[in-house]
Amino acid sequence: MKTAIADKLRNTAHALGINNKPTYVVMAIAAVKGICRPTFTMMDKKEDPKTKKYTAIREGLTELIAIPVYWGLGELSAKVAKKVLPPELHKKGAKNAMFIGVCVAALLVIPGLCSAAIKPIMGKFYHDKDSKNKTVQSGLDIESEAPKLEIKDNIYNNSTIIKRPSIQNFTSRAEYGMKVGGV
Amino acid sequence: MINGIGRVLTSNSLNNITSNTNSQVMLETTLKSIGRPGFILIDNEINEDTKKYAAAKEFLYQATCLLVYAALVVPVFKKGAFKMAQKLFDKEQIGNFSSLKQYNHYLKLCDSSLNNRKMTLNKEIKGVYKLDNDGNKINKLVKDDYDEIAVKELLKENPNTFTDLKGTIELGNIVGSVFGLAIFAPQVSHAFIHPALKFLGLEKPEPKTENTKQLDKNA
Protein backbone atom coordinates (compact mmCIF):
# COMPACT_ATOMS: atom_id res chain seq x y z
CA MET A 1 0.00 0.00 0.00
CA LYS A 2 1.30 3.46 -0.84
CA THR A 3 2.83 5.14 2.20
CA ALA A 4 0.97 8.46 2.01
CA ILE A 5 -2.45 6.80 1.81
CA ALA A 6 -1.44 4.27 4.46
CA ASP A 7 -0.31 7.08 6.78
CA LYS A 8 -3.61 8.91 6.35
CA LEU A 9 -5.56 5.72 7.01
CA ARG A 10 -3.44 5.02 10.10
CA ASN A 11 -4.00 8.53 11.47
CA THR A 12 -7.76 8.43 10.79
CA ALA A 13 -8.09 4.97 12.33
CA HIS A 14 -6.06 6.05 15.38
CA ALA A 15 -8.24 9.16 15.89
CA LEU A 16 -11.47 7.15 15.48
CA GLY A 17 -10.18 4.48 17.87
CA ILE A 18 -9.55 7.07 20.58
CA ASN A 19 -12.74 9.07 20.05
CA ASN A 20 -15.49 8.03 17.65
CA LYS A 21 -18.35 10.46 18.22
CA PRO A 22 -21.86 9.18 17.30
CA THR A 23 -22.37 12.31 15.20
CA TYR A 24 -19.54 11.46 12.76
CA VAL A 25 -21.28 8.56 11.02
CA VAL A 26 -24.74 10.16 10.78
CA MET A 27 -23.28 13.41 9.43
CA ALA A 28 -21.19 11.50 6.87
CA ILE A 29 -24.27 9.55 5.74
CA ALA A 30 -26.39 12.72 5.52
CA ALA A 31 -23.70 14.57 3.51
CA VAL A 32 -23.32 11.80 0.92
CA LYS A 33 -27.10 11.24 0.80
CA GLY A 34 -27.58 14.96 0.19
CA ILE A 35 -25.46 14.66 -2.96
CA CYS A 36 -26.38 11.16 -4.17
CA ARG A 37 -30.16 11.02 -3.66
CA PRO A 38 -30.93 14.14 -5.74
CA THR A 39 -28.42 12.96 -8.38
CA PHE A 40 -30.11 9.57 -8.65
CA THR A 41 -33.53 11.23 -8.81
CA MET A 42 -32.41 13.52 -11.64
CA MET A 43 -30.99 10.50 -13.51
CA ASP A 44 -34.40 8.75 -13.50
CA LYS A 45 -35.56 8.85 -17.14
CA LYS A 46 -39.10 7.63 -16.46
CA GLU A 47 -40.08 10.53 -14.19
CA ASP A 48 -41.56 13.83 -15.33
CA PRO A 49 -38.79 16.53 -15.39
CA LYS A 50 -40.71 18.93 -13.13
CA THR A 51 -41.45 16.22 -10.56
CA LYS A 52 -37.80 15.14 -10.70
CA LYS A 53 -36.58 18.68 -10.03
CA TYR A 54 -39.04 19.16 -7.17
CA THR A 55 -38.14 15.81 -5.57
CA ALA A 56 -34.40 16.39 -5.97
CA ILE A 57 -34.54 19.83 -4.33
CA ARG A 58 -36.68 18.45 -1.53
CA GLU A 59 -34.28 15.55 -0.89
CA GLY A 60 -31.27 17.84 -0.93
CA LEU A 61 -32.93 20.25 1.49
CA THR A 62 -33.86 17.41 3.87
CA GLU A 63 -30.24 16.33 4.22
CA LEU A 64 -29.07 19.95 4.38
CA ILE A 65 -31.34 20.43 7.40
CA ALA A 66 -30.27 17.09 8.91
CA ILE A 67 -26.50 17.80 9.04
CA PRO A 68 -26.53 20.84 11.38
CA VAL A 69 -29.35 19.35 13.48
CA TYR A 70 -27.40 16.13 14.12
CA TRP A 71 -24.28 18.09 15.02
CA GLY A 72 -26.04 20.74 17.13
CA LEU A 73 -28.30 18.41 19.08
CA GLY A 74 -25.47 15.92 19.64
CA GLU A 75 -23.09 18.56 21.02
CA LEU A 76 -25.86 20.19 23.08
CA SER A 77 -26.81 16.86 24.69
CA ALA A 78 -23.16 16.16 25.52
CA LYS A 79 -22.81 19.60 27.18
CA VAL A 80 -25.97 19.09 29.23
CA ALA A 81 -24.73 15.65 30.33
CA LYS A 82 -21.41 17.15 31.45
CA LYS A 83 -23.26 19.66 33.60
CA VAL A 84 -25.52 17.04 35.16
CA LEU A 85 -22.98 14.24 35.75
CA PRO A 86 -20.04 14.10 38.18
CA PRO A 87 -16.58 14.64 36.54
CA GLU A 88 -15.56 10.94 36.66
CA LEU A 89 -18.55 10.02 34.45
CA HIS A 90 -18.15 12.89 31.97
CA LYS A 91 -16.52 10.91 29.16
CA LYS A 92 -18.90 7.95 29.20
CA GLY A 93 -22.02 10.03 29.89
CA ALA A 94 -21.28 12.70 27.28
CA LYS A 95 -20.85 10.13 24.52
CA ASN A 96 -24.05 8.33 25.46
CA ALA A 97 -25.94 11.64 25.73
CA MET A 98 -24.64 12.61 22.28
CA PHE A 99 -26.08 9.38 20.90
CA ILE A 100 -29.45 10.06 22.57
CA GLY A 101 -29.36 13.54 20.97
CA VAL A 102 -28.76 11.97 17.55
CA CYS A 103 -31.68 9.56 18.11
CA VAL A 104 -34.03 12.39 19.13
CA ALA A 105 -32.92 14.31 16.04
CA ALA A 106 -33.62 11.31 13.77
CA LEU A 107 -36.98 10.44 15.35
CA LEU A 108 -38.52 13.85 16.06
CA VAL A 109 -36.55 16.99 15.30
CA ILE A 110 -35.48 16.41 11.68
CA PRO A 111 -38.84 15.04 10.39
CA GLY A 112 -40.64 17.84 12.27
CA LEU A 113 -38.34 20.56 10.96
CA CYS A 114 -38.54 19.18 7.43
CA SER A 115 -42.36 19.14 7.56
CA ALA A 116 -42.43 22.71 8.84
CA ALA A 117 -39.62 24.27 6.81
CA ILE A 118 -39.49 22.51 3.46
CA LYS A 119 -42.99 23.43 2.26
CA PRO A 120 -42.53 27.23 2.64
CA ILE A 121 -39.00 27.05 1.18
CA MET A 122 -40.18 25.01 -1.80
CA GLY A 123 -43.16 27.33 -2.23
CA LYS A 124 -40.89 30.37 -2.33
CA PHE A 125 -38.10 29.08 -4.53
CA TYR A 126 -39.94 26.63 -6.74
CA HIS A 127 -43.70 27.12 -7.09
CA ASP A 128 -43.76 30.94 -7.27
CA LYS A 129 -40.93 31.13 -9.77
CA ASP A 130 -42.59 28.46 -11.84
CA SER A 131 -45.99 30.12 -11.94
CA LYS A 132 -44.45 33.57 -12.69
CA ASN A 133 -42.51 32.13 -15.62
CA LYS A 134 -45.66 30.56 -16.97
CA THR A 135 -47.55 33.87 -16.94
CA VAL A 136 -44.70 35.67 -18.71
CA GLN A 137 -44.22 32.92 -21.29
CA SER A 138 -47.86 32.62 -22.19
CA GLY A 139 -48.36 36.40 -22.28
CA LEU A 140 -51.95 35.97 -21.13
CA ASP A 141 -53.53 37.79 -18.24
CA ILE A 142 -55.83 35.02 -17.21
CA GLU A 143 -57.41 36.83 -14.27
CA SER A 144 -58.60 39.92 -16.12
CA GLU A 145 -59.61 38.11 -19.31
CA ALA A 146 -61.59 35.49 -17.50
CA PRO A 147 -65.37 35.65 -17.95
CA LYS A 148 -67.28 36.70 -14.86
CA LEU A 149 -70.17 34.41 -14.11
CA GLU A 150 -72.84 35.70 -11.83
CA ILE A 151 -74.67 33.00 -9.95
CA LYS A 152 -77.43 33.58 -7.47
CA ASP A 153 -76.35 30.93 -5.05
CA ASN A 154 -78.02 31.93 -1.81
CA ILE A 155 -81.69 32.78 -2.03
CA TYR A 156 -81.91 34.04 1.58
CA ASN A 157 -79.49 37.02 1.47
CA ASN A 158 -79.55 37.33 -2.32
CA SER A 159 -75.74 37.85 -2.47
CA THR A 160 -73.81 37.61 -5.74
CA ILE A 161 -70.92 35.16 -6.03
CA ILE A 162 -68.43 35.79 -8.78
CA LYS A 163 -66.81 32.59 -9.92
CA ARG A 164 -63.56 32.93 -11.84
CA PRO A 165 -61.58 30.09 -13.42
CA SER A 166 -58.81 28.94 -11.08
CA ILE A 167 -55.13 29.23 -12.09
CA GLN A 168 -54.94 25.48 -11.49
CA ASN A 169 -57.17 24.90 -14.53
CA PHE A 170 -54.36 26.18 -16.74
CA THR A 171 -51.36 24.53 -15.13
CA SER A 172 -49.72 21.35 -16.42
CA ARG A 173 -48.41 20.38 -12.96
CA ALA A 174 -49.12 16.78 -11.90
CA GLU A 175 -51.72 16.67 -9.13
CA TYR A 176 -50.60 13.71 -7.12
CA GLY A 177 -48.94 15.62 -4.28
CA MET A 178 -45.45 15.58 -2.88
CA LYS A 179 -42.94 12.89 -3.53
CA VAL A 180 -40.91 11.32 -0.72
CA GLY A 181 -38.36 8.54 -0.77
CA GLY A 182 -36.01 9.41 -3.57
CA VAL A 183 -37.07 6.90 -6.16
CA MET B 1 -34.62 12.73 38.81
CA ILE B 2 -31.02 13.76 38.02
CA ASN B 3 -29.75 10.46 39.49
CA GLY B 4 -32.14 8.60 37.19
CA ILE B 5 -30.91 10.50 34.13
CA GLY B 6 -27.31 9.91 35.23
CA ARG B 7 -27.96 6.18 35.58
CA VAL B 8 -29.46 6.02 32.08
CA LEU B 9 -26.63 8.07 30.57
CA THR B 10 -23.92 5.90 32.09
CA SER B 11 -25.62 2.52 31.68
CA ASN B 12 -23.51 -0.25 30.18
CA SER B 13 -26.14 -1.29 27.64
CA LEU B 14 -26.32 2.24 26.21
CA ASN B 15 -22.53 2.38 26.25
CA ASN B 16 -22.35 -0.87 24.27
CA ILE B 17 -24.55 0.70 21.57
CA THR B 18 -22.65 3.99 21.40
CA SER B 19 -19.26 2.30 21.20
CA ASN B 20 -20.36 0.42 18.09
CA THR B 21 -21.14 2.28 14.85
CA ASN B 22 -23.04 -0.74 13.58
CA SER B 23 -25.67 -0.72 16.31
CA GLN B 24 -25.84 3.10 16.21
CA VAL B 25 -26.74 3.15 12.51
CA MET B 26 -29.22 0.25 12.88
CA LEU B 27 -31.03 2.02 15.72
CA GLU B 28 -30.98 5.37 13.95
CA THR B 29 -32.39 3.88 10.72
CA THR B 30 -35.13 2.11 12.73
CA LEU B 31 -36.07 5.44 14.35
CA LYS B 32 -36.13 7.12 10.92
CA SER B 33 -38.46 4.41 9.63
CA ILE B 34 -40.88 5.32 12.44
CA GLY B 35 -40.39 9.10 12.60
CA ARG B 36 -40.51 10.10 8.94
CA PRO B 37 -43.67 8.14 7.95
CA GLY B 38 -45.23 9.24 11.24
CA PHE B 39 -44.75 12.93 10.47
CA ILE B 40 -46.11 12.44 6.95
CA LEU B 41 -49.24 10.76 8.37
CA ILE B 42 -49.96 13.60 10.82
CA ASP B 43 -49.59 16.28 8.13
CA ASN B 44 -53.08 17.76 7.63
CA GLU B 45 -52.25 19.61 4.42
CA ILE B 46 -51.88 16.46 2.29
CA ASN B 47 -54.84 14.36 1.15
CA GLU B 48 -55.36 10.88 2.61
CA ASP B 49 -54.21 8.86 -0.41
CA THR B 50 -51.03 10.89 -0.87
CA LYS B 51 -50.27 10.59 2.84
CA LYS B 52 -50.63 6.80 2.77
CA TYR B 53 -48.55 6.54 -0.41
CA ALA B 54 -45.75 8.82 0.82
CA ALA B 55 -45.63 7.23 4.29
CA ALA B 56 -45.54 3.68 2.89
CA LYS B 57 -42.83 4.69 0.41
CA GLU B 58 -40.68 6.30 3.11
CA PHE B 59 -41.14 3.29 5.42
CA LEU B 60 -40.20 0.84 2.66
CA TYR B 61 -37.16 2.96 1.78
CA GLN B 62 -35.89 2.97 5.37
CA ALA B 63 -36.64 -0.76 5.74
CA THR B 64 -34.63 -1.43 2.57
CA CYS B 65 -31.78 0.66 4.01
CA LEU B 66 -31.83 -1.45 7.16
CA LEU B 67 -31.73 -4.73 5.23
CA VAL B 68 -28.98 -3.52 2.90
CA TYR B 69 -26.99 -2.30 5.87
CA ALA B 70 -27.30 -5.59 7.77
CA ALA B 71 -26.45 -7.63 4.70
CA LEU B 72 -23.56 -5.53 3.43
CA VAL B 73 -21.72 -3.69 6.18
CA VAL B 74 -21.00 -6.42 8.73
CA PRO B 75 -19.94 -9.22 6.38
CA VAL B 76 -18.08 -7.06 3.87
CA PHE B 77 -16.80 -3.81 5.35
CA LYS B 78 -16.18 -4.78 8.98
CA LYS B 79 -14.34 -7.98 8.08
CA GLY B 80 -12.49 -6.13 5.35
CA ALA B 81 -11.42 -3.45 7.82
CA PHE B 82 -10.18 -6.11 10.25
CA LYS B 83 -7.97 -7.57 7.51
CA MET B 84 -6.81 -4.10 6.47
CA ALA B 85 -5.75 -3.32 10.05
CA GLN B 86 -3.46 -6.35 9.99
CA LYS B 87 -1.70 -4.85 6.96
CA LEU B 88 -1.57 -1.29 8.30
CA PHE B 89 -0.36 -1.86 11.86
CA ASP B 90 2.17 -3.99 13.72
CA LYS B 91 0.93 -6.84 15.90
CA GLU B 92 2.00 -4.95 19.04
CA GLN B 93 -0.49 -2.22 18.13
CA ILE B 94 -3.45 -4.42 17.20
CA GLY B 95 -2.86 -7.61 19.19
CA ASN B 96 -2.99 -11.13 17.86
CA PHE B 97 -6.70 -11.72 17.34
CA SER B 98 -7.67 -14.47 14.92
CA SER B 99 -11.04 -13.00 13.91
CA LEU B 100 -13.34 -10.00 14.24
CA LYS B 101 -15.65 -12.07 16.46
CA GLN B 102 -12.80 -12.78 18.88
CA TYR B 103 -11.85 -9.09 19.07
CA ASN B 104 -15.48 -8.10 19.71
CA HIS B 105 -15.60 -10.64 22.56
CA TYR B 106 -12.35 -9.21 23.93
CA LEU B 107 -13.87 -5.68 23.90
CA LYS B 108 -16.93 -6.92 25.78
CA LEU B 109 -14.66 -8.45 28.42
CA CYS B 110 -12.76 -5.14 28.68
CA ASP B 111 -16.04 -3.34 29.45
CA SER B 112 -16.84 -5.62 32.39
CA SER B 113 -15.31 -5.37 35.88
CA LEU B 114 -12.05 -7.16 36.69
CA ASN B 115 -13.78 -9.78 38.88
CA ASN B 116 -16.35 -10.59 36.20
CA ARG B 117 -13.58 -10.78 33.63
CA LYS B 118 -11.58 -13.30 35.72
CA MET B 119 -14.69 -15.44 36.23
CA THR B 120 -15.53 -15.39 32.51
CA LEU B 121 -11.94 -16.27 31.50
CA ASN B 122 -12.03 -19.40 33.67
CA LYS B 123 -15.42 -20.57 32.36
CA GLU B 124 -15.58 -23.76 30.31
CA ILE B 125 -16.78 -23.61 26.70
CA LYS B 126 -19.47 -26.28 26.32
CA GLY B 127 -18.86 -28.83 23.59
CA VAL B 128 -15.32 -27.65 22.84
CA TYR B 129 -12.51 -29.91 24.10
CA LYS B 130 -8.72 -29.93 24.33
CA LEU B 131 -6.17 -32.52 25.43
CA ASP B 132 -4.38 -32.08 28.77
CA ASN B 133 -0.75 -33.13 29.50
CA ASP B 134 -1.82 -36.73 30.09
CA GLY B 135 -3.73 -36.88 26.82
CA ASN B 136 -7.18 -36.75 28.44
CA LYS B 137 -10.06 -34.83 26.85
CA ILE B 138 -11.02 -31.79 28.94
CA ASN B 139 -13.31 -28.82 28.30
CA LYS B 140 -11.63 -25.78 26.76
CA LEU B 141 -11.66 -22.60 28.88
CA VAL B 142 -12.52 -19.13 27.56
CA LYS B 143 -8.97 -17.94 28.23
CA ASP B 144 -7.56 -20.75 26.04
CA ASP B 145 -8.95 -18.93 23.01
CA TYR B 146 -6.70 -15.93 23.66
CA ASP B 147 -2.93 -15.65 23.38
CA GLU B 148 -0.76 -14.83 26.42
CA ILE B 149 -0.59 -11.09 25.71
CA ALA B 150 -4.39 -10.74 25.52
CA VAL B 151 -4.87 -12.78 28.72
CA LYS B 152 -2.28 -10.61 30.52
CA GLU B 153 -4.11 -7.49 29.38
CA LEU B 154 -7.48 -8.86 30.51
CA LEU B 155 -6.10 -9.46 33.99
CA LYS B 156 -5.19 -5.76 34.34
CA GLU B 157 -7.58 -3.22 35.88
CA ASN B 158 -7.54 -1.13 32.68
CA PRO B 159 -6.76 -3.45 29.76
CA ASN B 160 -5.47 -2.23 26.42
CA THR B 161 -8.40 -2.05 23.97
CA PHE B 162 -6.09 -1.84 20.94
CA THR B 163 -7.55 1.46 19.78
CA ASP B 164 -5.84 1.31 16.38
CA LEU B 165 -7.67 -1.92 15.53
CA LYS B 166 -10.92 -0.53 16.94
CA GLY B 167 -10.47 2.67 14.91
CA THR B 168 -9.82 0.78 11.68
CA ILE B 169 -13.00 -1.28 12.19
CA GLU B 170 -14.96 1.92 12.92
CA LEU B 171 -13.54 3.49 9.76
CA GLY B 172 -14.69 0.44 7.77
CA ASN B 173 -18.07 0.78 9.42
CA ILE B 174 -18.41 4.44 8.48
CA VAL B 175 -17.31 3.86 4.87
CA GLY B 176 -19.67 0.87 4.65
CA SER B 177 -22.55 2.82 6.17
CA VAL B 178 -22.10 5.70 3.74
CA PHE B 179 -21.77 3.38 0.74
CA GLY B 180 -24.62 1.13 1.86
CA LEU B 181 -27.13 3.77 2.89
CA ALA B 182 -26.39 6.64 0.51
CA ILE B 183 -25.34 4.86 -2.68
CA PHE B 184 -26.39 1.21 -2.70
CA ALA B 185 -29.74 1.34 -0.83
CA PRO B 186 -31.39 3.90 -3.18
CA GLN B 187 -30.56 1.62 -6.14
CA VAL B 188 -31.98 -1.46 -4.41
CA SER B 189 -35.04 0.40 -3.20
CA HIS B 190 -35.65 1.71 -6.74
CA ALA B 191 -36.13 -1.86 -7.91
CA PHE B 192 -38.02 -2.99 -4.83
CA ILE B 193 -40.32 -0.13 -3.72
CA HIS B 194 -42.58 0.27 -6.78
CA PRO B 195 -43.56 -3.44 -7.04
CA ALA B 196 -44.10 -3.46 -3.25
CA LEU B 197 -46.35 -0.38 -3.45
CA LYS B 198 -48.30 -1.94 -6.33
CA PHE B 199 -48.67 -5.13 -4.29
CA LEU B 200 -50.05 -3.09 -1.38
CA GLY B 201 -52.50 -1.39 -3.74
CA LEU B 202 -51.02 2.06 -3.16
CA GLU B 203 -49.72 2.51 -6.70
CA LYS B 204 -51.71 1.96 -9.87
CA PRO B 205 -50.06 -0.24 -12.52
CA GLU B 206 -48.77 1.70 -15.55
CA PRO B 207 -50.98 1.50 -18.65
CA LYS B 208 -49.59 -0.89 -21.25
CA THR B 209 -48.18 1.16 -24.13
CA GLU B 210 -48.11 -1.75 -26.59
CA ASN B 211 -51.89 -2.18 -26.45
CA THR B 212 -52.38 1.52 -27.05
CA LYS B 213 -50.13 1.36 -30.11
CA GLN B 214 -52.11 -1.57 -31.45
CA LEU B 215 -55.35 0.30 -30.94
CA ASP B 216 -53.96 3.31 -32.79
CA LYS B 217 -52.90 1.14 -35.70
CA ASN B 218 -56.33 -0.41 -35.94
CA ALA B 219 -57.98 2.99 -35.90
Residue type, A4: A
- Residues B182 and B80 placed together within one structural domain of the fold: yes
* A5 in contact with B, Cβ within 8 Å: no
Higher local confidence (pLDDT), A158 or A116: A116
Same domain, B149 and B64: no
pLDDT at A71 over 90: yes
Q: Enumerate residue ranges in chain B where pLDDT < 50.
A: 212-213, 215, 217-219
Residue B174 sits at the chain A interface (C-beta within 8 Å): yes
Q: List CB contacts of B167: < 8 A, sequence separation 6 or more.
A: A12, A13, A14, A15, A16, A17, A18, A20
- Cβ-Cβ pairs closer than 8 A, A with B, add up to 169
Helix (H) or strand (E) holding B127: strand B124-131
pLDDT above 90 covers a percentage of chain A that reads 23
Residue A182 lies in a domain: no
What number of residues does chain B have? 219
Q: Any CB–CB contact under 8 A between B92 and chain A?
A: no
In this complex, the residue of B6, B87, B162 whose CB is nearest that of residue A89 is B6
**Would the CB atoms of A84 and B10 count as touching at under 8 Å?**
no
* d(C-alpha B173, C-alpha B78), whole Å: 6
Domain assignment present for residue B218? The answer is no
Angle between helices B163-178 and A3-18 (to 10 degrees): 100
Residue range B166-194, pLDDT digits in tens: 999 989 989 998 998 888 888 888 788 88
Q: Which domain holds residue B130?
A: 96-161
Cβ-in-10-Å burial (0-12, 13-18, 19+) of A6 comes to middle
What pLDDT, on a 0 to 100 scale, did the predictor assign at position A138? 47
Contact status of A65 with chain B (Cβ, < 8 Å): no
Q: How confident is the model at residue A50 (pLDDT cuts 50, 70, 90)?
A: confident
**A68: distance to nearest CA of chain B, Å?**
16
Terminal CA-CA length for chain A: 38
Identify the band that residue A11 occupies on the pLDDT scale cut at 50, 70 and 90: very high
| Phi–psi pair at B126, nearest 5 degrees | -65, 135
The structural domain count of chain B equals: 2
pLDDT of residue B7: 80
Number of domains in chain A: 1
Same domain, B86 and B177: yes
**Looking at the domain assignment, is residue A177 inside a domain?**
no
| B198 lies in some domain | yes
Per-residue confidence (pLDDT) for residue B201, from 0 to 100 = 81
B167 with A183: Cβ contact below 8 A: no
- Could you tell me if B13 lies within 8 Å of chain A, comparing CB atoms? no
Structural domain for A12, as ranges: 3-170
Residues B2 and B81 in one domain: yes
Interchain pair A96, B11: CB under 8 A = yes
In a domain, B207, yes or no: no
Report DSSP state, residue B95.
-
CB within 8 Å: B35 and A12: no
How many angstroms separate the CA atoms of B103 and B154, rounded?
A: 12
Q: pTM value?
A: 0.72
Angle at B53 between CA B51 and CA B57, to 5 degrees: 115
- Residue B81 placed within a domain: yes
Please check whether residue B186 touches A, CB under 8 A: yes
Give yes or no for a contact between B162 and B93, defined as CB atoms under 8 angstroms apart: yes
The number of beta carbons lying within 10 Å of the beta carbon of residue A14 is 18
Model confidence at A134, pLDDT cuts 50, 70, 90, reads: very low
Instruction: Classify residue B167: in a domain, yes or no.
Output: no
Q: What is the pLDDT of residue A153?
A: 54
User: Could you tell me if A22 and A95 are in contact, meaning their C-beta atoms sit under 8 angstroms apart?
Assistant: yes
Q: Based on the domain organization, do B191 and B145 belong to the same domain?
A: no
Considering the domain architecture, whether residues B190 and B152 belong to the same structural domain is answered as: no
Q: Return the exposure string of A30-54: e unless at least 16 CB atoms fall within 10 Å of the residue's CB, then b.
A: bbbbbebbbebbeeeeebeeebbbb
Per the domain annotation, does A28 fall within a domain? yes
Identify whether A180 is part of a domain: no
CA A30 – CA A68 distance, rounded (Å): 10
- Cβ within 8 Å, pair B10-A182: no
Q: Which residues on neighbouring strands pair with residue B140, listed in sequence order? A: B125
Q: Are residues B82 and B185 in the same domain?
A: yes
User: What does the pLDDT look like over B144-153, one tens digit per residue?
Assistant: 888 888 888 8
More confident residue, A183 or A152: A152
Asked if the structure places residue A161 within a domain, the reply is yes
Shortest Cα–Cα distance, B164 to chain A (Å): 5
